A = this chain, B = another copy of it.
């Protein structure tokens, strides 16, 4: 599927923040890259970008991006970007696209699910389909600036910025056929150079249909306020994993998201963050191995800090499209080492504080049990998914938190014994459940 992206405008309202709006880095990733990556995730594999303002650096960036994402990105310059409406930008691609295509705006964020649903629904012959948001109180929408839509059934009957009677917003996500080019020529002949002008001509023939995407995520990044809101949504989406345990969800994520917001601006990779988290755990274990309560408590705080940092690698990977199979694996391996080191540090501490064989045994069983719960997780989770049942997980978030509380309260033996008992019993339970 071809994808046409409008990136000619100057984004005057964000001029203070960036010279080129498509290249404006939102959480470390230029807006145009976000648009192209989201379209690619939805199934687009061949891109045409209409340039205008600051075309040269944009072209250079897209050339490099094309190599990174492994898909062709052509550019077409719209020399009239300054004086004419955005319909002229679409017209610049006329003759280059002969089949139905996705039409997107470089300065809109959206969930890949939305263009995917557009492609599923399909465009009417010689017409187009526009994703329309029916939530007229969507907090991400700037009512002053948004293009409004009035529908009858799935047909669009009116579209424009000033509409008084409307039942939805133009999301800027279209599935169009080349008939749009002809409609735009008609509109331009009558002096209307906007994209909405072309859509209006198709609508008059009953050829402009809507796809209702109410509830789906999209937003138009027109000003500072919109950027702030969009950042918050992106961070939320990058953090909110279904597999999060209670500690991750209520304590670690809210903090790791704040940290990721800052980390996203730096050139650090997720793997470097995984390593950082591991080093903090190593430091925590080293503190545990010192005698006395202050070192123990400090180690506990560092262990919990490492657990929070550990959330950032995945968040940055999702925010910056840097996820990799290797990264996930490295994170898991380092987490296993960190788990074992922390428990060993506590065991060492308690042995040197006069703990005897019982501490040694509890520490050993805690280390082995934690390992076994991770070792059996893939198989167990897979089985539970198959059965459609809920998964019982004592995740790393809870384990480290218990350990943190144990260190703070100087209850090392109790914590080791608790972790040893719960983890090994859980492993035993899995052996029985999977036998089924």
Q: How many copies of this chain? A: 2
- The reply to whether B372 and A337 contact each other, CB–CB distance below 8 Å, is yes
A78 close to B (CB within 8 Å): no
Given the interface pairs A329-B379, A431-B333, the reply to whether A368 lies near B340 with Cβ below 8 Å is yes
- The reply to whether B336 and A372 contact each other, CB–CB distance below 8 Å, is yes
The listed residue (B344, B357, B372) touching A364 by CB distance below 8 A is B344
A368 to B372, CA, bound (A): 12
Cβ distance A381 to chain B, nearest Cβ, rounded Å? 13
Interface string of A300-338 (1 = CB under 8 A from B): 000000000000000000000000001001100100110
Given the interface pairs A329-B379, A351-B360, A379-B329, the reply to whether A337 lies near B368 with Cβ below 8 Å is yes
A344 to B367, CA, bound (A): 11
Cβ distance A259 to chain B, nearest Cβ, rounded Å? 25
Cβ distance A368 to chain B, nearest Cβ, rounded Å? 5
Cβ distance A341 to chain B, nearest Cβ, rounded Å? 8
Q: Which residues of B contact A110 (CB under 8 A)?
A: none
- The reply to whether B333 and A372 contact each other, CB–CB distance below 8 Å, is yes
A392 close to B (CB within 8 Å): no
Cβ distance A152 to chain B, nearest Cβ, rounded Å? 56
A345 to B116, CA, bound (A): 58
A285 to B326, CA, bound (A): 36
- The reply to whether B336 and A348 contact each other, CB–CB distance below 8 Å, is no
A330 to B330, CA, bound (A): 25
Give residues of chain A (335-385) contacting chain B, Cβ–Cβ below 8 Å.
336-337, 340-341, 344, 348, 351, 357, 360, 364, 367-368, 371-372, 374-376, 379
Q: Which residues of B contact A340 (CB under 8 A)?
A: 364, 367-368, 371
A375 to B351, CA, bound (A): 28
- The reply to whether A427 and B333 contact each other, CB–CB distance below 8 Å, is yes
A434 close to B (CB within 8 Å): yes
A367 to B341, CA, bound (A): 11
Cβ distance A376 to chain B, nearest Cβ, rounded Å? 6
Q: Which residues of B contact A360 (CB under 8 A)?
A: 348, 351
- The reply to whether A431 and B348 contact each other, CB–CB distance below 8 Å, is no
The listed residue (B341, B367, B374, B431) touching A330 by CB distance below 8 A is B431
Interface string of A394-432 (1 = CB under 8 A from B): 000000000000000000000000000000000100010
Cβ distance A283 to chain B, nearest Cβ, rounded Å? 17
Q: Which residues of B contact A333 (CB under 8 A)?
A: 372, 375-376, 427, 431
Q: Which residues of B contact A427 (CB under 8 A)?
A: 333
Q: Which residues of B contact A379 (CB under 8 A)?
A: 329
A435 close to B (CB within 8 Å): yes
Q: Which residues of B contact A376 (CB under 8 A)?
A: 333
Most chain B beta-carbon contacts within 10 A, residue among A330, A364, A372, A434: A364
Q: Which residues of B contact A434 (CB under 8 A)?
A: 326, 329
Q: Which residues of B contact A372 (CB under 8 A)?
A: 333, 336-337
- The reply to whether B329 and A371 contact each other, CB–CB distance below 8 Å, is no
Q: Which residues of B contact A357 (CB under 8 A)?
A: 348
Chain B residue with Cβ nearest A434: B326
Cβ distance A210 to chain B, nearest Cβ, rounded Å? 47
Interface residues of A (CB under 8 A from B): 326, 329-330, 333, 336-337, 340-341, 344, 348, 351, 357, 360, 364, 367-368, 371-372, 374-376, 379, 427, 431, 434-435
Give me 10 A-to-B residue pairs in the complex whose CB atoms sit less than 8 angstroms apart, sorted by A's number.
A329-B434, A333-B376, A336-B371, A336-B375, A337-B368, A340-B371, A341-B368, A348-B360, A367-B367, A371-B375
Please name 15 further chain A to chain B contacts, defined as beta carbons within 8 Å, in addition to the given A340-B364, A340-B371, sorted by A numbering.
A329-B434, A330-B431, A333-B372, A333-B375, A333-B427, A336-B371, A336-B372, A336-B375, A337-B368, A337-B372, A340-B367, A351-B360, A364-B367, A371-B371, A374-B375
